[in-house]
Chains A and B, each alone.
Chain A
Amino acid sequence: MNKLAAVVALLVAMSSRGWTQSGELRLCLRAEPKTLNPMQVLDEPSETIRYLTGGVLLRVNRVTQQVEPELATSWRVSKDGRSISFKLRDHVFFSDGTPFTSADVDYTVKQMMDPAMHSPTGDAFRSGSGEVVTHIISPTEVTITFPAPVAGVDRQFDQVAIMSATSPKKELAVLGPFYLADRKSGAYVLLNRNPNYWKKDAMGRQLPYLSSVRLDVQPNRDIETLKLRRGEIDLINSIDAEFYDKLRGTSPQLVHDAGPSLDTEQMWFNQVAKAPIPDYKKAWFRSTAFRRAVSQAINRADLCRIAFLGRATPAVGPISPANKFWFDSKLVTPRYDPDSALRLLQSDGFHQQDGALVDRTGNPVEFSIITNAGNKYRERMATMIQQDLAKIGVKVNVVTLDFPSLIERMSQTFQYEAVLLGLTNVDWDPNGQMNVWLSTSENHQWNPKESAPETQWEAELDRLVREQAQSMDLKKRKRCFDRVQEIVYEQLPFIYLVNKNALSAYSTSLTGVSPSILRPQTYWNVEMISKQ
């Protein structure tokens, strides 16, 4: 009798809140989330939890790419780009009933910018030295002032989950569509519908439609795909080309290809002066003609067709052609031309001897490419590049290493010759790549932490990225970044190979899913997803 009463009470509560739908969304996490603190999120599983539970002031619509109001009903960026003012929604509560006010925004910003916290989320706002100041105007109005302009400052708030300043539950009190209900280490995370979620649909019904989200920890993609086929999970947010292909053959209604993503796969040569590699190899790697020849000798179309089963596009540069605004349309895909590559090498003093390429001092051209073990696509690409370069007499040794060893070689010991890796872009705005182009940065991968730019073109890159980061004028930023792309295209510090397609898969029992190429591709509008 008590149970029946409880069920009836729940149904009444649901209907009074307008919840007419229910259902549990099930998906997999590739690893256990490392943190529930939204300010410390670094790994993808933690980012998933943050996205599903965190309420943000503004959100980037992953399909239209426009910034939309969320917890803030309106916002204004100052002309100098140093401050942003928000008008907050009224009568909004955290999942535990604590009211949401501008004090929570103030608290969140303080946490984010606290130097002792080293918040990765805060790094996007660290445009200059000095303090970030929050000025509370009223419980629903707040202004945040930065020491220097922050490029695309409004878009950055898509990543900032507002924390409660007063709730005893700390980061477990959330403003997003779901809250953490249960968790078993290494097994699953269960999120339940937030009873205090502020959003309603166009008909005035309470969101989210789903009653819960269950995330099972499953590192193996084979098993993840099997679970989807069996109906044990409802979606795979990002599926590999191989599994996409297999699912398409058996269940085409489940898969979706959103086209080229923003991510790139590239290789680069070690240009570090103090690297423990022979000087003659350093000379090769520092030669622009050598890098161009290698680029021309690689058959990118084959890489896309074979390594990625057709689910990739030959890359042009650091910006994917899918990023229509920022992509420099003057640039074209590098041509596959081994004969031209050989001519270029000959002009640089190389020549062929018994089928092998040798340099001017008689050293046979041989180098190793390292990549991370376990990534089938990179292993395939490296092996295909090995054959492509063999045609021009270059001997390539493919070595797969575990990730920590790879990182140590790349960033500490510099004991490598060439690397094949990828870059993940989470936003359209290329300002997020700034640390790749700045010569003083640790992420300036071909030659990290230069005390001063070692080449003219690197000095020019430094100047351009700094200029675009400080400007609020989108056209000016676009001009700067177009020039960055052109320099990179000419000098090839990175040899860009492919842009993978954004592939996903989801059950036909779900409605409201709008796959995009920006992360999270399928559940970015989770509150609008329903399940039959």
Chain B
Amino acid sequence: MLKRLAIRVVAIVVTILVGLLVSATMVRMAPGFESDEHQLDAHLSPETIASLKAHRLANRKLASFYLTYIKHSVRGDLGYSTALGRPVREVIGERIAETLKICSFGIGVGCTLGFLLAFVTGMSRSSAWDVLVGGIASLFLCIPIAALALIFVLIRRPAGLAIAAVIFPTVYRYARNVLARTFAMPHVITAMAKGCGPIRVLTWHVIPVCAAQFMAIAGISVSLALSASIPIESLCGIPGIGQLALQSALARDLPVLVTLTVVIATITIFANSLSDLVPATVRSRQS
């Protein structure tokens, strides 16, 4: 067990290091890396413009940046933000709690609603209900995230609900289809024919079959929530890492962007690993 855990931890670290390299490469190679918006300010002297660019050019050499970043990050130094002029650790440390708060809220509400409605759809076996809820899920999928965020601002509701609105349709669609297939299985039909109540059918015959898929769905909702947090935080003025990601992307702030990739990768991998581990552990205990 410990050996398996150790292997998994090593695998996660290697994955994150690869992610760090790939993201640093993409940011560095993207057009506009060496440009600064203030270059267009006609009031600035050539020397001032050169000094603005020099801050960016300090991170120009990719290999050197990568190695320096890893070496320093082991000591807790995540570099210096070229756009904000502050240590990256400080900048992210101030903001991560906000993102975790709204994402947790959004995932909780979105997944609960998605799974709940999928269960109700499965149990009710009503095609009208299926089309109705499916239509509502489609509606939320079709509304741009920016508009969703604005709606919740307009009705003065928490921004986490906008994230829930993004997650709910995906969770519902997957869960509904998986449940529909499970409800059609012979053992479930037999249980219902033998007079088992709906709750018993659900808890003893349906959920155990679908648990692994549900965990996987819950796992991907984490990366959905983090992606959605970028436009939602920016629009709602929430000082989280989503807002920071957008600002840093526009400013090509390499140290912040690679650190954000590491943070997001860690959270995503952790969530997905958990969603894989839990059913495997339950299964091994049952056997």
Decide if A and B touch, CB cutoff 8 A: yes
* A→B interface (CB under 8 Å): 31-32, 34-35, 42-43, 115, 118-120, 123-124, 126, 184-187, 216-220, 222-223, 226, 402-412, 421, 423, 426, 432-436, 441-443, 445
Residues from chain B with a CB closer than 8 A to the CB of A405 are 30-32, 35
Instruction: Tell me whether A223 and B235 are in contact (CB under 8 A).
Output: yes
CB distance from B53 to the nearest CB of A (A): 10
Instruction: Tell me whether B83 and A34 are in contact (CB under 8 A).
Output: yes
> Which of A42, A216, A411, A443 makes the CB contact (< 8 A) with B35?
A411
Other than the given A119-B48, A123-B48, 10 more pairs (CB < 8 A) read: A31-B247, A34-B83, A35-B85, A187-B238, A219-B235, A223-B237, A410-B40, A426-B43, A435-B42, A442-B46
Which 6 residue pairs of A and B lie closest in terms of their CB atoms, listed nearest first?
A: A404-B32, A186-B239, A118-B51, A407-B35, A187-B239, A123-B45
Q: Which residue of A lies closest to B54 (CB)?
A: A118
> Which of B34, B37, B239, B243 makes the CB contact (< 8 A) with A412?
B34
Residues from chain A with a CB closer than 8 A to the CB of B85 are 34-35
Residues from chain B with a CB closer than 8 A to the CB of A404 are 31-33, 35, 37, 250-252
CB interface residues, B 43-84, toward A, < 8 Å = 43-49, 51-52, 83-84
Instruction: Tell me whether B237 and A218 are in contact (CB under 8 A).
Output: yes
Bitwise interface map of B from 16 to 42 toward A, beta carbon under 8 Å scored 1, else 0: 000000000000001111111111111
The size class of the interface chain B forms with chain A is 35 or more
Instruction: Tell me whether A118 and B48 are in contact (CB under 8 A).
Output: yes
Residues from chain B with a CB closer than 8 A to the CB of A184 are 94, 239
CA distance A216 to B47 in the complex (A): 33
Residues from chain B with a CB closer than 8 A to the CB of A35 are 85
Residues from chain B with a CB closer than 8 A to the CB of A432 are 42-43
Q: Which residue of B lies closest to A444 (CB)?
A: B42
CA distance A433 to B94 in the complex (A): 40
Instruction: Tell me whether B46 and A441 are in contact (CB under 8 A).
Output: yes
Instruction: Tell me whether B40 and A407 are in contact (CB under 8 A).
Output: yes
Residues from chain A with a CB closer than 8 A to the CB of B247 are 31-32
Q: Which residue of A lies closest to B33 (CB)?
A: A404
Instruction: Tell me whether A32 and B43 are in contact (CB under 8 A).
Output: no
Instruction: Tell me whether A433 and B42 are in contact (CB under 8 A).
Output: yes
CA distance A218 to B234 in the complex (A): 8
Bitwise interface map of B from 77 to 118 toward A, beta carbon under 8 Å scored 1, else 0: 000000111000001001100000000000000000000000
> Which of A185, A217, A402, A406 makes the CB contact (< 8 A) with B237?
A217
Known A42-B41, A186-B95, A407-B39; contact A223-B236, beta-carbon cutoff 8 A = yes
Whether B150 sits at the interface, judged by CB under 8 Å, is yes
Whether B193 sits at the interface, judged by CB under 8 Å, is no
Instruction: Tell me whether A442 and B49 are in contact (CB under 8 A).
Output: yes
Instruction: Tell me whether A118 and B83 are in contact (CB under 8 A).
Output: no
Known A216-B237, A219-B237; contact A185-B42, beta-carbon cutoff 8 A = no
Instruction: Tell me whether A403 and B250 are in contact (CB under 8 A).
Output: yes
Residues from chain B with a CB closer than 8 A to the CB of A435 are 42-44
CB distance from A34 to the nearest CB of B (A): 6
Whether B136 sits at the interface, judged by CB under 8 Å, is no
Q: Which residue of A lies closest to B241 (CB)?
A: A186
Known A403-B37, A404-B31; contact A443-B237, beta-carbon cutoff 8 A = no
CA distance A223 to B84 in the complex (A): 24
CB distance from B242 to the nearest CB of A (A): 10
Q: Which residue of A lies closest to B50 (CB)?
A: A118
Whether B153 sits at the interface, judged by CB under 8 Å, is yes
Known A186-B239, A404-B252; contact A124-B31, beta-carbon cutoff 8 A = no
Known A31-B247, A185-B94, A407-B39; contact A226-B154, beta-carbon cutoff 8 A = yes
Residues from chain B with a CB closer than 8 A to the CB of A411 are 35, 39-40
CA distance A404 to B84 in the complex (A): 16
Known A123-B48, A404-B250; contact A220-B237, beta-carbon cutoff 8 A = yes
Residues from chain A with a CB closer than 8 A to the CB of B162 are none
CA distance A403 to B251 in the complex (A): 9
Q: List 17 A-B contacts (CB under 8 A).
A: A32-B84, A34-B83, A34-B85, A119-B48, A185-B239, A186-B95, A223-B153, A223-B235, A223-B236, A403-B250, A405-B35, A407-B35, A408-B33, A409-B31, A426-B43, A432-B42, A443-B42
CA distance A421 to B39 in the complex (A): 14
Whether B244 sits at the interface, judged by CB under 8 Å, is yes
Residues from chain B with a CB closer than 8 A to the CB of A220 are 150, 234-235, 237
Instruction: Tell me whether B250 and A42 are in contact (CB under 8 A).
Output: no
CA distance A492 to B238 in the complex (A): 45
Residues from chain B with a CB closer than 8 A to the CB of A433 are 42
CA distance A35 to B38 in the complex (A): 14
> Which of B35, B40, B150, B239 makes the CB contact (< 8 A) with A223?
B150
Q: Which residue of B lies closest to A218 (CB)?
A: B237
Q: Which residue of B lies closest to A410 (CB)?
A: B40
Residues from chain A with a CB closer than 8 A to the CB of B38 are 42-43, 120
Instruction: Tell me whether B32 and A403 are in contact (CB under 8 A).
Output: yes
Q: Which residue of B lies closest to A43 (CB)?
A: B38
CA distance A441 to B42 in the complex (A): 9
> Which of A187, A219, A408 makes the CB contact (< 8 A) with B34?
A408
CA distance A442 to B50 in the complex (A): 11
Q: Which residue of B lies closest to A220 (CB)?
A: B235
CA distance A395 to B36 in the complex (A): 31
Residue of A218, A220, A222, A410 ringed by the most chain B CB atoms within 10 A: A220
Known A185-B239, A402-B250; contact A408-B32, beta-carbon cutoff 8 A = yes
CA distance A459 to B54 in the complex (A): 31
CB distance from B174 to the nearest CB of A (A): 32
CB interface residues, B 210-248, toward A, < 8 Å = 234-240, 243-244, 247
CA distance A42 to B31 in the complex (A): 23
CA distance A407 to B32 in the complex (A): 7
> Which of A123, A218, A223 makes the CB contact (< 8 A) with B43?
A123
